[in-house]
Amino acid sequence: MRIGNLEIDSPVRLAPMAGVTNASFRLVSKECGSALITSEEIDATGLVRHTDRSEQIATFHPTERPLAMQLLGNDAETLVEAMEVLQERGADIIDINMGCPMPKITRSGKGSALMRDVPATALILRALRRSCQVPLTIKIRGGWDMQHLNAVEVAQMAESEGVDAITVHPRTRSQRFAGRAPWQIIRDVVEAVNIPVTGNGDVTSYSEALQMMAETGCSSVMIGRGALGQPWVFNPDFEGWNVERQREYRERAIARHMELIRTFYPEGRYSLLQVKRHLSYYARGMRSVRECRRTIFAECDTRDEAWTTFRHFWDAA
Ligand SMILES: Cc1cc2nc3c(=O)[nH]c(=O)nc-3n(C[C@H](O)[C@H](O)[C@H](O)COP(=O)(O)O)c2cc1C
């Protein structure tokens, strides 16, 4: 797939997830096959004020390229300033979050609230397009609620403002993550615009991603929750391997993920939480999954202890 002047090798890629898709998870996903990776949402105001939190989220490793960096905001001037900061640091794509459903975000007019006022959002995208040197993309939902399903209208507006590609998560803001994602809306957007559309929602395997592409005509697929505890979902060959080969690959990916966490984050609260959280995802499907998770969270005080505990349960599984 091509986004602006950027050729992306593989069509199935990691979706941004706040609190999850930090550099270590992005890199292990990339090494498994996600050719393009996206940062967590970065609050534009926080970034221009250089808050510790925004700086931490905006940090990436040189090997992560190409990297899309996602901004959250609703003020054109602030978004442009934040976009210039990210561009200067090397972002390969600037993505604007127009889908976040969290009330604390939408109350201030950000995230999916941008879909409510199409003319105002057009002005924001116009301002961004004027100074953005790299591809500019947006990530939208089906609409605000079932009475306002305007993904097609927003997509057409974005295309006419010079946006290079669109990701569609077809649930509405009010649906949050409930029910099944209505893939038909992705198809409607694909048919309405001439720029690449990425589909997203409820995909948990590479073959399902191919099915979404076939059913909707989208040119790539983003996987979010389906990648938690299984970054190998991005490997096109994985499903065709026998159980032993899959287990060996999974084991290597998990160990690599833990190594990346150690490399990027010094021992401490954040690092330990990352190890525990992801090992708990990796424990899914084990016979003694509950006992493994309980022991990791209740009894392990260091990353080494958590890893040794996980290995014990993994070897017994
Ligand atoms: C914990 C969590 C955090 C998320 N954070 C973001 C975010 O920062 N930016 C964004 O555009 N979407 C965010 N999303 C939405 C996902 O990118 C994706 O659209 C959604 O999970 C549906 O895809 P899935 O069914 O593959 O998970 C988040 C989702 C989850 C579960």
For residue 179, name the pLDDT band (cuts at 50, 70, 90).
Answer: confident
CA angle 268, 69, 122 (to 5 degrees): 140
**CATH architecture for the domain at 2-234:** Alpha-Beta Barrel (3.20)
Which residue of 168, 218, 225 sits with most ligand 1 atoms within 8 Å of its CB, as the best mutation to test the pocket?
Answer: 225
Atom of ligand 1 nearest to the CA of 40: 8
Residue 119, φ and ψ in degrees, nearest 5: -60, -40
Residue 218 known to be catalytic: no
Q: Which atom of ligand 1 is nearest to the CA of 222?
A: 26
Phi, psi of 145 (to 5 degrees): -155, -175
Is ligand 1 within 6 A of the CB of residue 201? yes
Look up the pTM and report it. 0.96
Decide: residue 9, CB within 10 A, 0-12 exposed, 13-18 middle, 19+ buried: exposed
Q: Identify the band that residue 288 occupies on the pLDDT scale cut at 50, 70 and 90.
A: very high
Pocket test for ligand 1, best of 12, 13, 17 (most atoms within 8 A of CB): 17
**Cα–Cα distance, 164 to 125 (Å, whole number):** 11
The predicted structure's pLDDT at residue 84:
98
Q: Which token pair is 195?
A: 């720029």
Q: At residue 17, does pLDDT exceed 90?
A: yes
Provide the pLDDT for residue 175: 80
**102: helix, strand or coil:** coil
CB of 20 closer than 6 A to ligand 1?
A: yes
Report whether pLDDT(178) > 90.
no
pLDDT value at position 174? 84
Can you tell me which residue has the tokens 């500019």? 136
What's the rounded Cα separation, in Å, for the pair 168 and 122? 17
H/E stretch holding 316: helix 303-316
Domain ranges of the chain: 2-234, 238-316
Q: Is the pLDDT assigned to residue 37 strictly greater than 80?
A: yes
| Both structure tokens of 164 | 């290079």
Closest atom, ligand 1, to C-alpha of 227: 26
Residue nearest to atom 19 of ligand 1 (CA): 169
Q: Which of 260, 263, 267, 272 is nearest to 307 (CA)?
A: 272
Residues 37/60, Cβ–Cβ less than 8 Å: no
Q: pLDDT tens across 198-224, in order?
A: 999 999 999 999 999 999 999 999 999
